[in-house]
């Protein structure tokens, strides 16, 4: 080998090693930064035996990355639902606590039984009214909590959609950088890292599928098939519902004018925070709201006054009313409206004995026409009615017939069961996400020990190339002296 060839080989090796050292230094400085992948200097051997860096690439694993995106979407989905259910469960409480409708109903039933034994005691009659007020208030509070959870979910969906649009705009910038840089052979690895980070953030809001094509260009679809990004971002839109009335379904999220949430979705999302929020807003909370409304309607029916003349007059509101002057034909919204009838509430100018004697709605509804102080038939009738098995709408998902007390306890049990199921699924998805993230990090992440070891090897190679150049330089000096 001539000295010139040896010199060129050593010099190219020196440059190649320098570029590789720079790459390892870049890896070390990026270690610990989320979304940063390991950079690799790709070298090749030239015809004269020298080495050169032809490009810088990054460690990647599409299968593991896709798995991580899927786990991210499912985790966000289940967590959004769990958060809402925990808020509801905290508000309603345990059946044994004083705050739950089920416990309030038990207290009212006990007070009613005591009043039946002592119908001439006005203090016990007052206690019945107080327990009834507590029960009505607990149903009002629970209904308000459901309404708040649904409204907050609707608002959170709007924030989620806004974030999706913002991420897509950022993604367009990074994708354009990658495509243009790839076309001219530039180092685009950092831009690809930033693009993947944006994609992972996008997966939190909705399930996505990413497909690469020429020049590292990337397309994004929802997991339901709707196009989110192709050269440019598609418009994701959503309009909040200012007032979500009982049983009302909120508006759908749209991608380029195509609905992706709701029962009528053309290309429904399968995962992501938006799916969990839509499930919470339009199904789980609505079912629980239905249970509360049916319980309230059942109470108004159980405590209704009946025609004692045999004239066939309709049942009318008794201890409980919704303010309409008649018994509600449907249960929708009943939990928000139920209240103690002012006619029996002494604090509102009412008469306590009307609960014992009847007659809130006129003479036809009087059970104790003589006003006997020991009369307890009407009280016993009400107590029996409260304990009686009645029909409920199967849409409440806790059976079609039960007593009010059993229905109330079943409602709390249903909510707790839903919360526990959501919690189990959320924990499972978190574990899968952690496993997928660890696997991806092991495959593409930066290991400081490995990078330092690699840097030491490269430094030795650099020293060797430098020493070889020095030797060649000495040989050149010797040769030049010899020919002088």
What does the alpha-carbon distance between residue 455 and residue 27 come to, in Å, rounded to a whole number?
Answer: 10
Q: What is the model's pLDDT at position 187? A: 82
Torsion of CA 284, 101, 243, 286, to 10 degrees: 20
Least confident of 145-159, 376-390, 436-450: 436-450
pLDDT digits (tens, 9 = 90+) for 161-200: 999 999 999 999 999 999 999 898 888 888 888 999 999 9
Q: What is the model's pLDDT at position 371? A: 86
Least confident of 92-106, 182-196, 258-272: 92-106
- Phi and psi torsions of 76, nearest 5°: -65, -40
Q: Mean pLDDT for the chain?
A: 85
Q: How confident is the model at residue 274 (pLDDT cuts 50, 70, 90)?
A: very high
3-state secondary structure of 370: coil
Q: In what order do the strands lie in the sheet with 254-255?
A: 236-237, 254-255, 258-259
3-state secondary structure of 36: coil
Say yes or no to pLDDT of 380 above 80. Answer: yes
What does the alpha-carbon distance between residue 34 and residue 256 come to, in Å, rounded to a whole number?
Answer: 31
Q: How confident is the model at residue 310 (pLDDT cuts 50, 70, 90)?
A: confident
Q: What is the model's pLDDT at position 293? A: 96
319 HSE (CA, 13 A, CB side):
33
Q: What is the model's pLDDT at position 81? A: 96
3-state secondary structure of 262: coil
Tokens for 17? 């090693």
Mean pLDDT of 323-345: 94
Q: What is the model's pLDDT at position 243? A: 86
What does the alpha-carbon distance between residue 193 and residue 31 come to, in Å, rounded to a whole number?
Answer: 13
What does the alpha-carbon distance between residue 52 and residue 11 come to, in Å, rounded to a whole number?
Answer: 10
Q: What is the model's pLDDT at position 481? A: 72
Secondary structure percentages of the chain, helix, strand, coil, to 5? 60, 10, 30
Q: What is the model's pLDDT at position 362? A: 92
pLDDT digits (tens, 9 = 90+) for 26-39: 656 666 666 666 66
Q: How confident is the model at residue 429 (pLDDT cuts 50, 70, 90)?
A: very high
Classify residue 303 by its DSSP letter: T
Q: What is the model's pLDDT at position 311? A: 84
Percent of the chain past pLDDT 70, that is, above it, reads 78
- pTM for the whole thing? 0.85
Name residues whose C-beta falls within 8 Å of residue 324's C-beta, 6 or more positions apart in sequence: none
Q: What is the model's pLDDT at position 412? A: 86
Question: Taking each helix axis from N to C terminus, what angle separates 285-302 and 122-183, rounded to the nearest 10 degrees?
Answer: 170
pLDDT digits (tens, 9 = 90+) for 75-85: 999 999 999 99
Q: How confident is the model at residue 112 (pLDDT cuts 50, 70, 90)?
A: very high
Tokens for 317? 């509101």
Q: How confident is the model at residue 479 (pLDDT cuts 50, 70, 90)?
A: low
Mean pLDDT of 270-293: 95
Q: Quick one: 374 exposed, middle or buried, by C-beta within 10 A (0-12, 13-18, 19+)? A: exposed
Q: What is the model's pLDDT at position 259? A: 94
């Amino acid at each position: 080998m001539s000295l010139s060839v040896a010199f060129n080989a050593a010099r190219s090796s020196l440059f190649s090693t320098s570029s590789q050292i720079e790459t390892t230094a870049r890896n070390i400085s990026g270690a610990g930064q989320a979304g940063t992948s390991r950079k690799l200097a790709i070298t090749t051997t030239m015809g004269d035996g020298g080495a050169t860096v032809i490009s810088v690439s990054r460690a990647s694993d599409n299968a593991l990355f896709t798995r991580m995106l899927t786990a991210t979407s499912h985790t966000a989905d289940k967590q959004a639902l769990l958060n809402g259910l925990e808020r509801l469960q905290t508000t309603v409480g345990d059946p044994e606590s004083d705050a739950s409708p089920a416990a309030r109903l038990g207290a009212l039933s006990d007070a009613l039984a005591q009043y039946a034994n002592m119908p001439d005691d006005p203090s016990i009659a007052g206690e019945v009214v107080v327990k009834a007020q507590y029960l009505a208030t607990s149903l009002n509070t629970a209904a308000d909590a459901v309404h708040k959870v649904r409204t907050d979910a609707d608002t959170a969906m709007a924030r989620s959609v806004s974030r999706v649009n913002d991420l897509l705009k950022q993604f367009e910038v990074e994708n354009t950088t990658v495509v243009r840089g790839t076309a001219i052979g530039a180092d685009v690895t950092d831009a690809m890292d930033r693009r993947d980070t944006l994609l992972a953030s996008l997966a939190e809001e909705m399930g996505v599928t990413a497909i690469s094509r020429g020049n590292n260009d990337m397309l994004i679809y929802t997991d339901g098939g709707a196009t989110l990004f192709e050269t440019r971002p598609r418009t994701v839109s959503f309009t909040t519902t200012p007032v979500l009335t009982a049983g009302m379904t909120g508006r759908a999220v749209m991608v380029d004018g195509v609905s992706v949430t709701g029962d009528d979705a053309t290309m429904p999302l399968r995962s992501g925070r938006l799916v969990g929020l839509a499930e919470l807003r339009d199904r789980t909370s609505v079912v629980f709201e239905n249970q509360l409304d049916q319980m309230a309607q059942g109470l108004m029916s159980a405590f209704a006054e009946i025609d004692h003349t045999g004239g066939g007059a309709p049942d009318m509101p008794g201890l409980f009313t919704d303010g309409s002057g008649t018994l509600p034909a449907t249960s929708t919204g009943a939990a928000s409206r139920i209240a103690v009838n002012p006619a029996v509430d002494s604090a509102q100018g009412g008469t306590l004995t009307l609960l014992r004697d009847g007659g809130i709605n006129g003479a036809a509804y009087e059970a104790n026409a003589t006003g006997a102080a020991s009369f307890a038939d009407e009280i016993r009738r009400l107590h029996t009615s409260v304990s009686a098995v009645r029909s409920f709408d199967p849409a409440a998902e806790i059976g079609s017939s039960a007593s009010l007390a059993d229905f109330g306890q079943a409602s709390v049990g249903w909510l707790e069961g839903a919360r526990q199921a959501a919690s189990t699924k959320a924990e499972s998805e978190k574990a899968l996400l952690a496993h997928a993230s660890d696997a991806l990090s092991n495959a593409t992440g930066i290991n400081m020990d490995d990078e330092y070891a690699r840097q030491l090897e490269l430094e030795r190679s650099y020293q060797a190339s430098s020493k070889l150049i020095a030797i060649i330089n000495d040989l050149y000096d010797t040769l030049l002296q010899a020919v002088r």
